[in-house]
Amino acid sequence: MLMKEYRICMPLTVDEYRIGQLYMISKHSCEQSGGGEGVEVMRNEADMHPQHGQGQLTEKRIYLSSKLPAWARAFAPRFFYVTEKAWNFYPYTITEYSVSFLPKFSIRIETRFENNNGDNDNVFGDTPTPPENVSFLDILSDPIPERHYKESEDPSRWMSSKTGRGPLEKGWRDDHKPIMCSYKRVQCSFEVYGFQTKTEDFIHKVRRSFLFLY
């Protein structure tokens, strides 16, 4: 199992982020429903966490067969799905992913949202993540694939007409007010001899696909 912690700062408060999070989850579900497949909600019910209190458990099946590249379709079943289990005890959440035909593969993401610039080295309150496994992701300067770029969403160009915030400039994380951080502890597991290390490392390299949703 390979575990890393990612810290993503944003020019918002934790309360403001919650509103945007609900919108993005809804948008993401709609996007995944394209291509003749969709998202099937298996459970959506109240849940209780011994430390974080009342929250919500949601379990979904996301059918993605038609979205695989051609080379992957040769190995995958004609129909398969990703199971997503999400426990929302905001500002603490847990999200787990598994694949129907790969029982030994899983991704677990623990997230904690705090109003700071990412300087909490034991945000989960148990064992601090080793410094070499901690990475800051910068929404301003980190490169993104060209196909995902939208000028209207570029932090170096965008300015909020409602709050007057933006555009962001180099070094913004040091003095911007307000600021919050999304701390994400990600554990990848693929316990198959000969494939484990490469697969777990690859998942962390393509982290953008799952880190910015929850």
Q: How far is CA 143 from CA 25, 138, 139, in A?
A: 23, 9, 9
Q: Does the pLDDT of residue 204 top 50, yes or no? A: no
- Residue 191's pLDDT band, with cuts at 50, 70 and 90, is low
**d(C-alpha 60, C-alpha 39), whole Å:** 7
Could you give the percent of the chain with pLDDT greater than 90? Answer: 56
Bridge-based pairing of strands 92-99 and 180-190 is: unpaired
**d(C-alpha 141, C-alpha 92), whole Å:** 27
Per the prediction, the chain carries an average pLDDT of 83
**pLDDT digits over 27-71, tens only?**
766 665 555 467 889 999 999 999 999 999 999 998 876 666 565
**What is the domain count for the chain?**
1
Residues 6+ apart with CB under 8 A from 135: 4, 5, 6, 7
Q: CA nearest 184: which of 139, 118, 97?
A: 118
Q: What is the mean pLDDT of residues 141-166?
A: 90
Q: How far is CA 195 from CA 36, 114, 133, 209, in A?
A: 32, 36, 21, 21
Sign of the alpha-carbon torsion through 141, 15, 97, 201: positive
Domain span at residue 150 reads: 2-211
Q: CA nearest 208: which of 153, 154, 138, 156?
A: 138
Beta bridge partners of 39: 62
Structure tokens at 203: 């998942």
User: At 139, which CATH number?
Assistant: 3.30.530.20
CB under 8 Å, gap of 24 or more: what pairs does 65-70 form?
Answer: 65/37, 66/35, 66/36, 66/37, 67/35, 67/37
